[in-house]
Chain A
Amino acid sequence: MSTLNLDVYMPIVILIALALLVAGGSLFLGSLIRPQHPNKLKETAYECGEEPVGSAWANFNVRFYVVALIFIIFDVESALMFPVAAVFKKFNEIGLGGTLLMSILTFVSVLVAGIVYCWKKGDLDWVKSFNQTNQPTIAKKD
């Protein structure tokens, strides 16, 4: 098993364990010494001193989702770009930089087309312009 060279990952595991340890340890330590006087008022959610109205787990605006969507597309794009970018220097040294450059350009430009589309259609605008009346209506009904 020593051939697998997995020892490099040791510190990561150790650090994750340490993080759990620090968090758990401090919480456990605190639970021994800290006061514990819960009452009903203390355990209500903060809403500027008023009684909380309803649950906070309500519907949210869909534009959060659109942002996350563009993000995940670019995330995946970067995941594909990383290895190609890593070999770019090597390819450039052996004289294949031009072809790789072209393929990177193609790849990126297609995605740029996507973001331009979203830009033009206003998906990137957080506040929609006022003459645009396509605000979500159902989501706000209840």
Chain B
Amino acid sequence: MNSTVVSYFSQSNEFQNVTNWLTQILGFNASSLVAFIIFAVFSLIIVGAMATIGGLGTYAERKISADLQARIGPNRVGPFGILQFLADGVKMILKEDIVTTNADRFTFNLAPVLCLVGVFATLAVVPYSSGFMLADLNVGIFYLVGMASLVGVGVFLGGYASNSKWSMLGGMRGASQIISYEIPATLSIIAIVLLAGGLSMKTLIDGQGGAPQDWYIFHNPFAFMGFFVYFISALAETNRAPFDLPEAESELVSGYHTEYTGMKFGLFALAEYIEVFVVCGVAVALFLGGYKVPFDLGSGQILVEKLGLDGMLAQNIGQFLELGSFFTKTLLLYYVVIWVRWTLPRLRVDQLMTLCWKYLTPIALVNLIGCAVWMYAFNGKSIFALIFHAAGSAGGH
């Protein structure tokens, strides 16, 4: 626990005081309890934020699509229709919950919960800022891959449990699509792990810098390709267009959630939108420098030196800058995802599989090998470092 929320707070004196006080009152070491409380509070905050982002995602999607199609989009509820998602949520809760007669009730109820659990559990390792991370696991990125694969089980079970042919087809397609595209995504991640030399999110981000030339995407040509492979695979993994085969409304009605109504459908949708955010966040963390801010503003050192601010305050400011950095990049990617959805036509199922197995996976393998060879050949230096080094040695001395 070196870079989680709790460790960030434990730097301040008040935290120690509160802990000691509680220890005296309760008669046992309360640090765990305090940690639990902090974690619980921040988990709630994050879940709330994510629910909002997911909700706003639906709003943004409709608004952006309207822009792209020269329409106005939602504009009734609240200013510019921004409260539309709340209205949607209320509607979801109020809708009747229908379970078809032939459905497998247990599985039918379980499927959306599984999706939601899988997505929420991944939130724990998303690095929002250097101090604002719920859990900095040693196996962070690997854990994320594992938890995200629960969504595939959820989708499949959702399709299965409905006992409807559309759902079943959608569920089968969705599961096989999710698992297929997990491969190029994982291989791209391994390439970055090779560069960074660790699995924890902190290690992955610390290898990069604030300025773009220090990001892993520009580390070498293979990582550059790897970013696109990862991004395409992430799109497919979250069943986003142009890979929304499982819910292709023109052929499968609504895919695996055809039979779902009300809040259960809402849970699927929420899980999907949060997952999009998570995969964008992972792309940012792995390739685009994560929460890093240029000039080392994140640690606040420069503020202390130049402006003479108090250490803790400077650190807090740095944290907010980092949060801003991370969310800006992530939301930009989020925008790209929506943009892509309304720009590109949907793939056919055979094209989908061909793209995954015959293009992305071989490219990802080449990237992996290429990154390893690059690391070995240039001793881990990025292409910019090499260029600067060459330019420096050519120009000076």
CB contacts between A and B, total, < 8 Å: 231
Q: Give the Cβ gap from B141 to chain A, nearest Cβ, in Å.
A: 8
Output the least CB separation between B272 and chain A (Å). Answer: 14
Contacts of B42 in A (CB 8 A): 11
CB within 8 Å for A126 and B267 given contacts A30-B94, A56-B165: no
| A124→B358 contact, CB < 8 A | yes
B39 and A44 contacting across the interface, CB-CB below 8 Å: no
Return chain A residues, CB-CB under 8 Å to B117: 16, 19-20
Flag whether A68 is at the interface (Cβ < 8 A). yes
With CB as the reference atom, state the residue of chain B lying closest to A60.
B172
For B, the interface residue count at a CB cutoff of 8 angstroms equals: 93
Q: Interface size of A by Cβ–Cβ distance < 8 Å?
A: 73
A121: Cβ under 8 A from any B Cβ = no
Q: Which residue of A lies closest to B364 (CB)?
A: A74
- B135: chain A residues at CB < 8 Å are 8-12
Check B162–A81 contact: CB distance below 8 A: no
Chain A 12-53 interface 0/1 with B at a Cβ cutoff of 8 Å (1 = within) = 101110111011101101110111111010111111100010
Whether B344 sits at the interface, judged by CB under 8 Å, is no
Cβ-based interface call for A127 (8 A): yes
Contact A124 B182 (CB under 8 A): no
Tell which of B113, B176, B263 touches A20, judged by Cβ atoms closer than 8 Å.
B113
The answer to whether the Cβ of A139 comes within 8 Å of any Cβ in the partner chain is: no
Does residue A117 face the partner (Cβ distance < 8 Å to B)?
A: no
- Shortest Cβ distance from B55 into chain A, in angstroms? 13
User: Which of A11, A52, A82 contacts B142, CB < 8 Å?
Assistant: A82
- Per the bound structure, the CA–CA distance linking A56 and B102 in Å amounts to 10
Partner of A89, one of B165, B197, B349, B361: B197
Q: Cβ of A16 and Cβ of B121 under 8 Å apart?
A: yes
Contact A7 B1, beta carbon cutoff 8 Å = yes
